[in-house]
Structures are given as structure tokens and as C-alpha cells.
Amino acid sequence: MQIENTERTDAASQEAVWVSEAQAGNRQAFERLYRAHCDRIHALCWRLCGGDSALAEDLVQEAFIRAWNKLDLFRGESSFGTWMHRLAANVALSDRRIRLRRVGREQPLDEAAERTAAGARDVTQGLRSDLEQAISALPERARTVLVLFDVEGYKHEEIAELTGMAAGSSKAQLHRARKLVREALEK
């Protein structure tokens, strides 16, 4: 147990050095931070965007670009990983809001094309049996709350602040998401 605590302290100390060096403009130090955190940030983005790998890659890059540009705002009140995680969640949620606005302005497909698209989704829906696929099939708000609460450990109040929904709505969306995931996994 003592060895584990020492390793964590050493890793935190090393990370603090990298952050300090990166804040001074050292790109290699920032690359070390990127390599230390990119997998966890990618997992968050991938889940928040419903398993779209290309979009997740874009969001990870955007999150780290913003982190580099805002590194002077990092005050060390939390770990860099926690700060980066919060920044990435904001990037993913902001991207989702932009995409939803864009979709709202698009013209709907004609009826035949919509029927074909719905049929294609229905066929693949039956093949989705593992947990990640069930999560990616959730409606946006339900998926966001489920990922942030159950996977990433955010509290409902934090989710409410990030997403702009009430804490009660976050709880309702979590209940809905869990129910939908259970139903998908039972099929």
C-alpha cells in the first residue's frame, strides 16, 4: 500500500513539473501531458458522441488545443487530469449543441429516404448487444448523463452545470438511460 501511495505521489509530482514547463511554453512537456491523458479523454469523448470514432478523435484534438491555449488558466487547484477531463467534457457538449442547431436548420429527407434510413437502423439495432453499443444507442441527453454520472463519476449538480439542465432532469435522464440500457442488453 505504501509503494502505491509513493508511486501516485511521484506521478503527481512529475505531472506538476510537466504542467509548469508547459505553462512556460515547453511543447515537449505538454506532449507528455497529452500522452498521459489522451486515452482517458478519448474514452470520454467517444462515449459522449455515441461511439463515433472520427468525431471522438476530432474532439480529443480540440480539447487538447484548447488546453494548450488556456494552460495559463490552470491554477493547480485540482490535478491536471481532472481539469483536462472537465475541459474535454465541455468541448464535447459544446460540439453537440452546435451539431443539434445545425441539424435543426437542415431540410428533412423525403419520406421514402426517411423510411429507408429508419429501416437500416432497425436492422442493426438487433445486433447491438454489448454495453458500449447499448450506451451509444441512447438518446443524446440520456447518454450524456449516463456517461458523466455512471462512467465518469460526476454528481448531478455538476452535470446540471455542464449541460444546462436541472439536477432533477439529470436524475430523470439517468433513470431513463439505465432502463433503456437494461432493455437493450436483455434483447
Asked if domains 1-106 and 128-187 share a fold, the reply is no
Reported as a single tens digit per residue, the pLDDT across 148-163 is 998 888 999 999 888 8
CB 142 within 8 A of CB 180: yes
List the one residue out of 53, 52, 56, 184 whose CA is nearest residue 130.
184
Spell out the residues 6+ positions from residue 15 whose beta carbon is closer than 8 angstroms to its own.
Answer: 33, 36, 79, 80, 81
**pTM of the prediction?**
0.66
Q: How far apart are CA 10 and CA 4, in angstroms?
A: 10
Q: Output the pLDDT for position 122.
A: 41
Environment class of residue 167 by beta-carbon count within 10 Å: exposed (0-12), middle (13-18) or buried (19+)? middle
Q: Output the pLDDT for position 36.
A: 95
Reported as a single tens digit per residue, the pLDDT across 37-70 is 999 999 999 999 888 899 999 999 999 999 999 9
Domain segments of the chain as ranges:
1-106, 128-187
pLDDT at 107 exceeding the cut of 60: no
Q: Output the pLDDT for position 131.
A: 81
- Take residue 108 and report the three cell numbers written for it: 428533412
List the one residue out of 149, 144, 30 whose CA is nearest residue 92.
144
Q: Output the pLDDT for position 151.
A: 84
Q: Output the pLDDT for position 12.
A: 78
Q: What is the CATH number of domain 1-106?
A: 1.10.1740.10
The C-alpha cell 435543426 sits at 104
Q: How far apart are CA 154 and CA 140, in angstroms?
A: 17
CATH class of 128-187: mainly alpha
pLDDT at 120 exceeding the cut of 80: no
